[in-house]
Amino acid sequence: MFRYAKKSDFGDLVYPDANTKLYQGLFLERYLPFFVNPSSRVLEIGADQNFRQLLALNVSERWVADPYDGEAGGGSTAVPQVPGINIARCIIGMNSDAIPDNYFDLVFSSSVLEHVGQQAVNYDCRYVEEPPPEQEIPRKKLCDEIYRITKPGGINIHCIDHGVRNITYKKNFSSAGFDLLFNDAYFSLDEMITDENAVRQIRGWMDPSQYLPDSHLHTVLLVGLIKIAQGILPKYMTVSPGCKLEFTEEAIVKICYL
């Protein structure tokens, strides 16, 4: 899965100038339960104080990795105490060595990964074909670390803001060893920027009364990944003889609504 969010995915539930987090919440609520079972271990990266999607999952272990330092994205400095959630106060890829190898069946995030390396490029949201090392070095560490802690056969689902700048994450995750969960139709950068059906941030995140002058840059990327190793696939995956993997978004939707 590597595509951009579209208003039509949820019909009238996503109104024209809705905060992009509304779409992301709907998306995660629909899809995350499909990738877990009661024995699963799940990690959310950068949950801050919102555990709605994580707590809704029927799993054996729920984890959050968040430094709670108040820096990226204006997050909280208050470390929450929530029954049923293990808090790893760390930044994935920087000081997360204590998290075991090959541990999580599902890793997900929402409005988090775009902040990695963002300050180093002065919060520039414009597309660049070759991002500078100041951005890419921490992103390589992040993706490598996510790969390390994801179980073979495990899934990653990430919603990433500022889609134009962060379209290069596809290469970052591929270099770390991940495969796409399934192959969406190709889209161009121009298509994402000009598509009137694209979900995009129109108003300011901190001050909704202000309209953003460059809202075309603020689309949402939807990234689904799988760690394929040693021939291990999740039980819900089906492989046909002679095929690598047959798995489409339409199949997920159909199964979710059986």
Q: What is the mean pLDDT of each run of 10 residues along the chain (258 residues)?
A: 93 86 94 95 94 96 92 78 94 94 97 93 91 95 97 96 95 96 89 94 82 89 89 50 45 42
Query: What is the pLDDT at residue 7?
Result: 92
Query: What is the pLDDT at residue 241?
Result: 43
Residue with tokens 């994402």, as numbered in its chain: 192
Q: Which of 89, 85, 92 is nearest to 76 (CA)?
A: 89
Q: What residue type is 4 in one-letter code?
A: Y
User: Is 206 in contact with 14 (CB distance < 8 Å)?
Assistant: no
Query: What is the pLDDT at residue 183?
Result: 80
User: Is 79 in contact with 54 (CB distance < 8 Å)?
Assistant: no
Neighbouring-strand partners of residue 104: 150
Cα separation, 183 vs 150, whole angstroms: 20
Question: Burial code of 102-113, b = ≥16 C-beta within 10 A, e = fewer?
Answer: ebbbbbbbbbbb
What's the first-to-final CA gap in the chain, in angstroms? Answer: 22
pLDDT tens figures, 1-37: 999 999 999 988 988 788 899 999 999 999 999 999 9
Query: What is the pLDDT at residue 157?
Result: 97
Residue ranges of domains in the chain, CATH in brackets: 2-256 (3.40.50.150)
Look at strands 179-180 and 221-226 and give their pairing.
antiparallel
Q: How many CB atoms lie within 10 A of CB 18?
A: 18
